[in-house]
Amino acid sequence: MNTDLARLIKALRRALNDAVAPELNSDHARGQLAAVHDILGKLAGMVVWDPQALKAQTQALAEGNQAFAARAAQAGLALPACGSGTDLAGAETRTRQLTDWLDRQEAVLPAPLAAELDAILRQTLREQLRIERKRIPLTDFSAMTSGAANDTKD
């Protein structure tokens, strides 16, 4: 992500405080503004690069790709060659290559081996997503939707 986006979000929040908040007369409107501030604050934290998270995602993919390659080698299978990318983009590229290769080979591989290789890929992707999701804070949209629910009851 781009830190310019984080600055934009900060400017939006400041504009909401300076120009919009003083004009709000109802509790509902102030609740809506508070919810927007909450969401924007969480987004601001998510758009800043976290080198540790990127490193952990890269490692999770690399380890999974290595496990896949080791199991394929054990079964006597030849995998497509790949560049030696050591960054997240390279690890993601390799994971896509292995996924595509497995999709093409699944009809000719013994079903248990295909299932085992597929399980390795799924676990690899799950690990990467776990790391990514830790960076995504939970957002409570109830403050924004409670007013809408009350409006429908009238």
pLDDT for the residue 14 = 87
Give the rounded percent of residues in the chain with a pLDDT score beyond 70: 80
Query: 30-55 burial, b for 16+ CB within 10 Å, e for fewer?
Result: ebbbebbebbeeebbebeeebeeeee
Copy the structure tokens of residue 40.
């924007």
Which alpha helices (DSSP H) does 75-110 contain, by range? 88-105
pLDDT at residue 89 greater than cutoff 50 = yes
Q: Find which of 13-27, 63-77, 82-96 is predicted with most confidence, using mean pLDDT.
A: 63-77
Q: Find which of 9-13, 15-19, 41-45, 110-114 is predicted with most confidence, using mean pLDDT.
A: 110-114
Q: Decide which of 6 and 31 is more confident.
A: 31
Question: pLDDT (tens digit, 9 = 90+) per residue, 106-153?
Answer: 889 999 999 999 999 999 999 999 988 877 666 565 655 554 444 444
Give the mean pLDDT of the chain.
83
Copy the structure tokens of residue 61.
């993919």
pLDDT at residue 101 greater than cutoff 70 = yes
